[in-house]
Amino acid sequence: MSSVTELDVPRSALTPALHRVVARRQETSDVVTLWLESLGGERLAFRSGQFNMLSAFGVGEIAISISGSPNDLGPLRHTVRDVGAVSRALCLSEVGAVVGVRGPFGTDWGVSGPSTSGDTVIVAGGIGLAPLRGAVEELAAARHSGAGRVFVLVGAREPDQLVFLDDMAKWEKKGVVVLSTVDRPAPGWDGRVGLVTTLLANAGFDPSHCRVLICGPEIMMRFTARALIDLGVDAASIWVSLERNMQCGLGWCGHCQLGSLLLCRDGPVVGYPEASALMNERER
């Protein structure tokens, strides 16, 4: 997919732009979606799969994928999971709070270009659907113009940790095939139980003519990619989203280095042939 060059770096890439939280939705017990509007009035242009550095002032700054679609005309949308001090502060931000935004940074899913006739398969684990949500929105919208079929396969630990259920219903109405599965069913759950890889074989996509975008925990992405290749999907048609300790967002500081890649610049979206060796690299 496309890479970001220095020419693409925003002028104020190191200075957070102030944004106000204009809406907030609790997605699950520990996941919140925030809608952010620039105090300066400018609208951030981005591509699906890219991330921003979000600041909770006085606490810190972290990389958060953009969960909105580039086609959205409204506020910037981020979905945050409470896993640490900064993400907790962001999750607790109420409407009216001000946060900092730097970006967008990194590579994208490559779905914004000309539509393709082949199938596109989106595989997400847990909150991994957030970085893919914009891509699904774009692909679902492109269905009207004769683009290929779209499959969204989602795995979560428990039913109440499935995010974007309302979006899934909308995507299905647009002809997107949406399948979900959970590891641990709750009372009343009549859906599938099992790893997300169990959805692949019978989803209905054409393994010989598809591209696959995967986001989730790395082990889940490894297992999913291997299962796809076993089904006949070309490894070069598989893309994953990798994440390390993103800090500068510009490939300058080196904190997010993984092998020869600086993931804030050369990622997060990386082709599987390149990513597979890095994902199997053991840290010393």
Q: Which residues bind another protein (CB under 8 A)?
A: 62-65, 80-81, 83-84, 87, 125-128, 155-157, 161, 181, 183, 185, 187, 189-195, 197-198, 201-202, 216-217, 219-220, 223, 243
Beta bridge partners of 64: 52
Query: Which CB atom, from 22 or from 231, has the smaller least distance to another protein?
Result: 231
As measured in angstroms, the least distance from the Cβ of 89 to another protein is 13
Tell me if 24 sits within 8 A of 32, measured CB to CB.
Answer: yes
| The one-letter amino acid at 257 | Q
Least distance to another protein, CB of residue 55, Å: 14
CB closer to another protein out of 72 and 183: 183
Please, which residues bridge with residue 121 across strands? Answer: 151, 212
Question: Which residue, 68, 15, 22, 28, is CA-closest to 45?
Answer: 68
Q: Return d(Cα 229, Cα 235) in angstroms, integer.
A: 6
Q: Which is nearer to another protein, 33 or 140 (CB)?
A: 33
> Length of the chain in residues, anyone?
284
Residue 250 CB, nearest approach to another protein (Å):
20
For 244, other C-beta atoms within 10 Å of its C-beta total 17
- Phi, psi for 226 (deg, rounded to 5): -65, -45
Query: In the complex with another protein, which residue's Cβ is closer, 42 or 190?
Result: 190
- Give the closest residue to 241 by CA, choosing from 148, 151, 70, 122: 122
Backbone angles phi, psi at 87, to 5 degrees: -65, -35
CB of 61: closest distance to another protein in angstroms? Answer: 13
Q: Which is nearer to another protein, 41 or 187 (CB)?
A: 187
Between 100 and 185, name the residue whose CB sits nearer to another protein. 185
Smallest gap from residue 184 Cβ to another protein (A):
8
CA distance 173 to 270: 30
Least distance to another protein from the beta carbon of 14, Å? 21
